[in-house]
Amino acid sequence: MEKRVFIFIAISLSILFAYNKYFAPKIPEKLPEQISRPAVTSGTLKPEPSSLKAAPEGVLAEPEQKVEKIEGKDVVVETDLYRIVLTTSGARIKSFRLKKYKEAKVKKEVLEKNLARIEASLRREQKPGERKKLTRERDRLQYLIKRKPVPGEGVELVPFDGDFYGHYPLTLSLPALDKKGRLNAALYGVNRESLKLGEGRDTGSIEFRYLTPEGIEIIKKLRFSLGSYLIGVEISVRNNSSRAINEENFLVSYGPGIGLLKKTQVRSRQVSPFATWVNGKVLRDIAGREIGKGFIKKTTMKWGQFLIHPGPVGWTALRNAYFVVALIPKETAGAQLLDNEDETRKIALKMPPFSLAPGQDISEKLSLYLGPQDMAVLRKSGSHLEAIIDFGFWSWIAKPIYALLKIFDKWLGNYGLSIILLSFVIKLVFYPFTHKSFEAMKNMQEGMKAIQPEMEALKEKHKDNPQKLNKATMALYKKRGVNPLGGCKGGCLPMLFQTPVFFALYAVLYNTIELRQAPFIHGWINDLSAPDPYFILPVLMGGTMYLQQKLTGMGGSGGAQPDQAKMMSIMMPAVLTFIFFRLPAGVVLYWLCFNVFTSLQQLLIKKKSEAKAKAKA
């Protein structure tokens, strides 16, 4: 038994280390130069930097500016897919609720308990960075408690920072003209107070206007369509002043994150929250204390420092576990990313520099995708947005599993039943291999049982000389044709075969919107992507694993002492049961069903072996 465990652990660690060394994404040494926009007025523009690097301090400071919270008028837009609330304060997004996906249920007692824990940590913590992170978490919890979210509401994709700090997303930065960030705090004029699509109206737009004291007019126009999560954005700058604008930078950003509840956030810093499409491939970025240091994925950016992909980029995106926001330029643009330890994150498109003579204007068009990480929806939206979904190292098997689950769900109408069917199909695929290994194990056990008297005699004869005992034992194995490793092979193979599927299914559950809040049995498992609230599945899984070991007879015949074998047969299921308490119910259900099917296979082999023994007798 212990050999099986040790080999399984060794194989798992080898896979992790091999991936970290050979397959983890590397920081590109050089990206293509960004194409500069021809100047509207005469003069030569300086080219954009052509290497991937952290931006110098103050170059593109907009994402870190403190925006004054000024209350503006709300402008509500409703489509068949979402309800968006815009504010005339900075012409930004105040709220964005998806109608098809409901907000996760969080009990007030849980929020209050977490708040008390955070406040206790704040009283002890001395490091400024940690205090900042804890303070933001305290503010978030206080906001959620005060807000009292109603279960069943559409999921909110604008973080609490908007209402709490005034940091609403979809900001505009013109660093040379607007050094103090007034554009995102000013009150804009708007052409309408509300917009509702449907009943013969498939598209519509909202237009915001603001004139600076210097005579620069800013126009921000948003266009909405039925049946689409894409929002068209057009931003125009008109120089109504008497002075020329020379080489201004144009930055459109979204942040400081996505999603309101932590239950929908990416669950590990090893999962890249950023994705950028550059030269026909997706670059995934993740922050850390030191670039290149990471357990699963090597970090490519430092916390609190900008990372620039000069471009041209196809899009840049910020995601959590199930939802994503992407900025998609119509023409040439670079991308800018920012991540902080307190999980405030921003993405931005940096357009080519421009110059405007008095009386001239310029417009930039882009698209904003704000919606689910649904493979079909992202693919339909174009621009290779489906590449945002990241199954990680196991994508080669996660994608077929995802496709199979969708097919099974069409047949069965329940993802829990689909996972059970998936485990049965996987068992059938590997049946020939596991069957041979189980038979080999059974033969080994019978062989070991036959030579047990001779083994005891050798132990007595060489009890004072372990080296001679070992040599004599190996000679006995060879003479009798017994392979002591047959037990390990029979125990390792079933676990080894299901390990890739286990990790792939884990990735599918945490990265695809279809399995978010997907129920199995109402009143018990209402969300297959969340842990079993009553721990029934993990306990059943541990029980089936213990039964499986008893049926296999592991430990007692593989050279281990009976006491050791008994201890391991209890300890291993107990440890895995404890680990599985916090894993998604869908993953535990898969492992449980695979154990059940494996136990049935072992019963068949056992009956077949007993029938042969009776026939010989």
**What are the residues whose beta carbons fall under 8 Å from the beta carbon of 321, sequence distance 6 or more?**
264, 265, 266, 267, 373, 510, 511, 516
For residue 578, is it within any domain? yes
**What pLDDT is recorded for position 18?**
47
For residue 11, is it within any domain? no
**Whether pTM exceeds 0.85:** no
CATH number at residue 333: 2.70.98.90
For residue 484, is it within any domain? no
The upper half-sphere exposure of residue 18, i.e. CA atoms within 13 Å in the direction of its Cβ, equals: 7
For residue 585, is it within any domain? yes
- Write out the DSSP string of 214-248: TSEEEEEEEEEETT-SEEEEEEEEEE-SSS-EEEE
Same-domain pairing of 158 and 136 = no
For 101, other C-beta atoms within 10 Å of its C-beta total: 21
Same-domain pairing of 556 and 583 = yes
Same-domain pairing of 141 and 162 = no
**What pLDDT is recorded for position 484?**
64
Could you give the CA distance from residue 576 to residue 117 in angstroms, rounded to a whole number?
A: 28
For residue 553, is it within any domain? yes
SS3 string of 344-365? CEEEEEEEEEEEECCCCEEEEE
Closest CA to 498 of 581, 438, 587, 575: 587
Same-domain pairing of 297 and 411 = no
Query: CB of 204 within 8 A of CB of 221?
Result: no
Same-domain pairing of 141 and 268 = no
Closest CA to 214 of 173, 172, 178, 174: 178
- DSSP for residue 170: S
SS3 string of 98-123? EEEEECCCCCHHHHHHHHHHHHHHHH
Same-domain pairing of 183 and 278 = yes
Same-domain pairing of 193 and 247 = yes
Same-domain pairing of 113 and 94 = no
Could you give the CA distance from residue 60 to residue 336 in angstroms, rounded to a whole number?
A: 9
**What pLDDT is recorded for position 24?**
37
**What pLDDT is recorded for position 51?**
31
For residue 594, is it within any domain? yes
Residues with pLDDT less than 70, the chain: 1-70, 148-152, 260-271, 289-290, 292-297, 434-447, 482-498, 552-566, 568, 613, 616-617
The alpha carbon dihedral of 473, 474, 480, 482 has a sign of positive
**What pLDDT is recorded for position 403?**
92
Strand spans (E) along 72-215: 74-78, 82-87, 92-102, 154-156, 171-173, 189-190, 194-196, 203-211
For residue 13, is it within any domain? no
Query: CB of 321 within 8 A of CB of 511?
Result: yes
**What pLDDT is recorded for position 40?**
40
Residue 423 is part of which domain span? 404-443+491-616
Same-domain pairing of 365 and 514 = no
**What pLDDT is recorded for position 492?**
58
**What pLDDT is recorded for position 493?**
57
- Write out the DSSP string of 521-540: BTTTBS-TTS--TT-HHHHH
* Gyration radius (Cα) of the chain, Å: 30
Q: What are phi and psi of 180, to 5 degrees?
A: -100, 5
Same-domain pairing of 370 and 419 = no
What is the count of structural domains for the chain?
Answer: 3
Same-domain pairing of 187 and 120 = no
**What pLDDT is recorded for position 356?**
93
pLDDT digits (tens, 9 = 90+) for 89-103: 999 999 999 999 988
Same-domain pairing of 58 and 143 = no
For residue 600, is it within any domain? yes
Domain boundary pick from 124, 148, 172:
148
**What pLDDT is recorded for position 35?**
34
Residues in the chain: 617
